[in-house]
Chain A
């Protein structure tokens, strides 16, 4: 009898526990409730959540993480709970969290087309009242991508160029080229010579599909169709069927037909493709300026590698020498935080996005969107990179073109690399996706 009773009590309490669990889940899963407790109820201790993409083995990522640690040390009352998500998945997670109205308190965001949905959903807190902190430090031009309707939503921490061509001087010399070509014809000839010498001309890691879109097509679009082409497309003044744009897409087709890429280009990620270049398995790799840290600055054999931009194309509408740039890693605060968290988040912003951060980044060879004195002992590679990219910049493809169309474009480009589809078809499909 007694045993039966215990069993019944156990079952009943389990039932109650399950019900409580289920109803808690049903109650909206609002993290605000949990966070608020530690903010207001628990005395001085405030816990802020922060989501960031700083996981790859790049020197800037270490600087960012060290800066967060330094902030926590200087402010024992504030704890930063980090959620680090690999860069390739970061945006997906960010927007999924945003859709669930469940953003972290502090987020790393991208400018332009990637910022729009967050702003339209009123998910970010405008920083207009606090801009004094960064006046005269952060370049006006780099703030533009993070401002909308006269509100500033984030402060960028890094200046990146996505289309730097890293090349192995020794391999180029083996194919009979001592300098990097400055015309498209010369570039193609060099690829043919490399092929003839049995060297893989370009290492590409396009499994995640963004490299061709970002590192290749941003600058190709500028060279062939002009710097303002993408914005015109978004505004409806031009469209992707434009013959100049089709010619730009056709470059990918031509490179594929020349077998310029490694055969497993679609099975590896960009870090593996960098390894191919570093290990001498390919003569060139096109990627962001950040990668210079791995390829040259922190590489004992770094002087084997040179940097260049995509050469001039005959009859192209854009001027050569321009690189595709983006002010990256904007730091933004979630809207509607309670007072304690809001104050703590601002304190973090002030500390994190500061001259010290920019100095630390510069010292590991990362370009920044701020005007500070470049220290004498800065890496000569950094100076070379700054020199190379000093002639102005053109926007990155997916910073201007809305996501659905950019994704369609990425798929079309990948299809070209396995010999499916045509440049015209890819352009048409992208235009269709934009129209939806």
Chain B
């Protein structure tokens, strides 16, 4: 007992620095946001307590629900775009392929580039006048396919989603690649002996073997999708006419551009709630299957 107690103390002491930092940069600000969300406050003059008025106002705002919808689109983009693409490329690269490490680096590159750069690059690709995409379409005689990719409300969200997939799939590829390499060779050999090859082996052997990794990737992808900000902010600023606004951009506009810090804090609390709900749902579903 005596030793265990000492270990506990050591564990506590060891955790203390990171605990303090975590509380300081995560828990305290969340508490503060919750507090501010109950006020009408421009950040400078005195706060006026208004109870839950900010929240009722948010729930009555169509633009907020539009931003929620866009967040859901981004989330689905991550789930049906990034993860399958990451998995597919990981499967391709997980064999003796000439130049595999080169392709691995290339696929992972977008994750390392600062997302401001990524946004600027895609801004140039999508540019109507001199953009790469319209230029390419013009070159191959598909002028009729040229679009105002970011400015046309019916295309802007799709354009954003493509950029979002490109930016992040490499991360999932690396995660899956690591998991694939942990699959014992005997399993694959046994599968081969049993005559399982190709897609059959992928879905019957490989995917089940890395299930827990996929679950982690799914949860990460979802929570990531609620945090998306820089890409949208730089590519479209939430425009045109709020069509690409996500919750974080909505929050930023309210707090920092319209200077309604109380209102913005309320939005941030809702973002936290929404992502907690979705993540815990996924976690629950995933765990149930495990059991």
Q: Name A residues whose Cβ lies closer than 8 Å to a Cβ of B.
A: 14-15, 18-19, 22, 25-26, 92, 95-96, 98-99, 117-118, 120-121, 123, 207-209, 263-267, 403-404, 407-408, 411, 414-415, 417-418, 420-421
Cross-chain contact B242 with A120 (CB below 8 angstroms)? no
Q: 3 closest A-B pairs (Cβ-Cβ)?
A: A99-B43, A415-B241, A121-B44
Tell me the total A-B contact number using a CB cutoff of 8 A: 96
Given contacts A99-B43, A117-B45, contact A267 B153 (CB under 8 A): no
Instruction: Say yes or no: B151 contacts A117, CB within 8 Å.
Output: no
Q: Does B9 contact A (CB under 8 A)?
A: no
Which of the segments B93-101, B175-183, B254-262 contacts the partner chain? B254-262
With CB as the reference atom, state the residue of chain A lying closest to B260: A404
B42, A117: Cβ atoms closer than 8 Å: yes
Cβ–Cβ contact A26 & B150, under 8 A: no
Structural contact, B42 and A418, CB atoms closer than 8 A: no
Q: Footprint of A on B, CB under 8 Å?
A: 13, 16-17, 20-21, 24, 42-45, 123, 126-129, 148, 150-153, 236-237, 239-243, 253, 256-261
Structural contact, A98 and B44, CB atoms closer than 8 A: yes
A96 vs B258: C-alpha distance when bound (angstroms): 11
B127 interface neighbour in A25, A95, A264, Cβ under 8 Å = A264
A120-B128 CB under 8 A given contacts A92-B256, A264-B148, A420-B153: no
CA gap between A98 and B43 in the complex, in Å: 8
5 new A-B contacts, CB < 8 A, other than A18-B17, A92-B256, A264-B129, are A18-B21, A22-B21, A117-B43, A404-B259, A418-B240
Closest Cβ–Cβ distance, residue B89 to chain A (whole Å): 31
> How distant is B13 from chain A, measured CB to nearest CB, in Å?
8
Q: A208-B237, A404-B258, A415-B241 are in contact. Are A266 and B151 (CB under 8 A)?
A: yes
How many angstroms between the C-alpha atoms of A92 and B233 in the bound complex? Answer: 14
Q: How far is the CA of A263 from the CA of B128 in the complex (A)?
A: 8
Please tell me if the beta carbons of A267 and B43 are within 8 angstroms of each other in the complex. no
Task: Provide a sorted-by-A list of 25 A–B residue pairs whose CB atoms are within 8 angstroms.
Answer: A15-B17, A19-B17, A22-B24, A25-B24, A26-B24, A95-B256, A95-B259, A99-B43, A117-B42, A117-B44, A120-B45, A208-B237, A263-B148, A263-B151, A265-B151, A266-B151, A267-B123, A267-B127, A267-B148, A267-B150, A404-B259, A411-B242, A415-B240, A418-B151, A421-B241
The residue in chain B whose Cβ has the minimal distance to the Cβ of A88 is B237
Whole-angstrom distance between the alpha carbons of A404 and B260 in the complex?
A: 8
- In the complex, how many angstroms separate the beta carbon of A110 from the nearest chain B beta carbon? 13
Give the nearest-CB partner of B63 in chain A.
Answer: A411
CA distance A404 to B42 in the complex (A): 10
A415: which B residues are within 8 A, CB to CB? 240-242
In the bound complex, CA of A407 to CA of B252 (Å) = 12
Contacts of A403 on B, CB cut-off 8 Å?
Answer: 257-259
Known: A22-B24, A25-B24. A95 touches B151 (CB 8 A): no
Min CB distance A199 to B, Å, is: 15
Q: List B contacts of A208 (CB < 8 A).
A: 237
* Chain B nearest CB, measured from A326 CB (Å): 19
Q: Are B16 and A96 in contact (CB under 8 A)?
A: no
Q: Which residue of A lies closest to B23 (CB)?
A: A22
Instruction: Please determine whether A19 and B20 come into contact, CB atoms closer than 8 angstroms.
Output: yes
Write out the residue numbers on chain B whose beta carbons fall within 8 Å of the beta carbon of A19: 17, 20
- Identify B240's interface contact among A118, A408, A417, CB under 8 A: A417
Interface contact A207-B17, CB-CB below 8 Å: no
A403–B258 alpha-carbon span in the complex (Å)? 6
A266 neighbours in B (Cβ, 8 Å):
150-151, 236, 239-240
CB-defined contacts of B239 to chain A, threshold 8 Å: 207, 209, 266, 414
Name B44's closest neighbour in chain A (CB-CB).
A121
| B256–A411 CB distance below 8 A | no
Which of B20, B128, B242 is within 8 Å of A267, CB to CB?
Answer: B128
> With contacts A18-B20, A95-B44 known, is A420 near B151, CB below 8 A?
no
Set of chain B residues within 8 Å of A15, measured between Cβ atoms: 13, 16-17
Given known contacts A18-B17, A264-B129, A404-B260, is B44 in contact with A414 (CB within 8 Å)?
Answer: no
- Give the chain A neighbours of B150 by CB distance below 8 A: 266-267
* Nearest neighbor of B21 in chain A, beta-carbon distance: A22
Contact B256 A414 (CB under 8 A): no
Q: What A residues does B123 contact at CB under 8 A?
A: 267
Known: A99-B43, A264-B148, A267-B151. A411 touches B261 (CB 8 A): no
**Residue of A95, A265, A418 with most partner-chain B CB within 10 A:** A418
Report the minimum CB–CB distance from B281 to chain A (whole Å). Answer: 33
Q: Give the Cβ gap from B272 to chain A, nearest Cβ, in Å.
A: 21
Judge whether A207 and B237 touch: CB under 8 Å.
yes
* List of B residues within 8 angstroms of A404 by Cβ: 258-260
CB within 8 Å for A120 and B44 given contacts A209-B239, A418-B240: yes
Report the minimal beta-carbon distance from A350 to chain B, rounded to whole angstroms: 28
Minimum Cβ distance to chain A for residue B144 (Å): 15
Give the residue name and chain of the A residue nearest to B243 (CB).
A418
- Complex Cα distance, B258 from A95, in Å, reads 10
Give every chain B residue within 8 A of A267 (Cβ-Cβ). Answer: 123, 126-128, 148, 150-151, 236
- Residues in A with CB closer than 8 Å to B258 are 403-404, 407-408
Residue among B16, B20, B44 with the highest chain A CB neighbour number at 10 A = B44
Contact check, A264 vs B260: say whether CB atoms are below 8 A apart.
Answer: no
Whether A92 lies near B257 (C-beta < 8 A) is yes
- What is the CB-to-nearest-CB distance from A301 to chain B, in angstroms, rounded to a whole number? 21
CA distance A116 to B150 in the complex (A): 36
User: How far is it, in angstroms, between the C-alpha of A367 and the C-alpha of B236 when the chains are bound?
Assistant: 34
Q: Known interface pairs A263-B128, A403-B259. Does A121 touch B241 (Cβ–Cβ under 8 Å)?
A: no
- Residues in chain A near residue B242, CB distance under 8 A: 411, 415
Q: Is the CB of B17 within 8 A of A411?
A: no
Closest to B238 in A: A411
Q: How distant is the Cα of A22 from the Cα of B45 in the complex, in angstroms? A: 28
Interface centre among A25, A121, A267, A415 (most CB of B within 10 A): A267
Q: How far is the CA of A267 from the CA of B148 in the complex (A)?
A: 9
> Which of B123, B126, B151 is most buried by chain A, counting CB atoms within 10 A of its CB?
B151
Complex-state Cα separation, A417 to B128, whole angstroms: 16
Chain B positions within 8 Å of A22 at CB level: 20-21, 24
Minimal Cβ-Cβ distance residue in B for A265: B151
Contact between chains at A123 and B151 (CB < 8 Å): no
Complex: A414 Cα to B236 Cα, angstroms: 12
Tell me, rounded to whole Å, the shortest Cβ–Cβ distance linking B213 to chain A.
32
Q: Among A25, A208, A407, which residue has the most Cβ atoms of chain B within 10 A?
A: A407
Contact B237 A121 (CB under 8 A): no
- From A18, A26, A96, A407, B43 is in contact (CB under 8 Å) with A96
Using CB atoms, name the residue of chain A closest to B257. Answer: A407
Nearest CB of chain A from residue B126's CB, rounded to whole Å: 8
